[in-house]
Amino acid sequence: MQALYPILEFDPSPNAILEPHLIHDKIAIPERCVVCFFADVFETLRANGKLKVIATQRSEIGDNPIYELDLDGRRLAAFHPGVGAPLAAAFLDEVIALGCRKFIACGGAGVLNREIAVGHLVVPTSAVRDEGTSYHYLPPSREVSVSPEGVVAIEAALKADGIDYIVGKTWTTDAIYRETPDKVKLRKEEGCLTVEMEAAAFFAVAQFRGVTFAQILYGGDNLDSEQWDSRHWDKRTSIREKLFWLAAEACLRL
């Protein structure tokens, strides 16, 4: 198993010493789940009485509720995965252990093409694995693919709502402050449209655990310039709430 670099020492054993089912027993939880990065959306939904807490994840940064909601008479779970691949992957793994099997995520991402407007939707088909977490779930490779049935469900939901979107590759990185000009250029040349910190890990966990997972991103800050431009991407409240409901609609199509 020993390799030149520890990150390449993948162990295909399905059994680990600590497993998520040792932390969480299965509960009566919906099969379908929305993974949402928008804390402001959860605050609004809670204030409007649309969410019920059905479980709680715990870490040193505090409690993380897992919710249930009703959409057109059908039950969905929902949770915030934190930020960054290690925490997001662990939270996803735990929710899988609880019983969810079909996931649609929604979040924001930096754009590598300035023509992608703030709020324009991107549906990833694969992620460049420039983080570490995915290498503990899958053998080393340059990219990891999304669940194709998840992309089909997302596209159907977006088309039904008449919403424009693009599909393509995303770049998952661990180091938000090391997105250098040369790295951005390299990722653009290999076809990446966006950069974020979780997708590759999500896709790897889903493949390893045999569940369905896909994601919708909205165009956020711009890295396709000499200077970073936030474009106030995290203040787009209406976009973020709409994206949550689009993810829910897509999830119900799975």
34 forms beta bridges with 78, 104
User: Is the Cα torsion angle 194, 177, 228, 107 positive or negative in sign?
Assistant: positive
User: Which pTM was predicted?
Assistant: 0.96
The total number of structural domains that make up the chain: 1
The boundaries of the domain holding residue 56 are: 28-252
Residue 125 domain flag: yes
178 found inside a domain? yes
| CA separation for the pair 246, 224 (Å, rounded) | 27
In a domain, 9, yes or no: no
One pLDDT digit (tens) per residue for the chain, 254 residues: 788 899 999 999 999 999 999 988 889 999 999 999 999 999 999 999 999 999 999 988 899 999 999 998 999 999 999 999 999 999 999 999 999 999 999 999 999 999 999 999 999 999 999 999 999 999 999 999 999 999 999 999 999 999 999 999 999 999 999 999 999 999 999 999 999 999 999 999 999 999 999 999 999 889 988 889 887 766 767 889 999 999 999 999 99
| DSSP annotation string for 158-171 | HHHTT--EEEEEEE
Domain-embedded: residue 199: yes
- The CATH code of the domain that includes 123 is 3.40.50.1580
What whole-number distance in Å separates Cα of residue 149 and Cα of residue 144? 15
DSSP 11: -
5 located within any domain: no
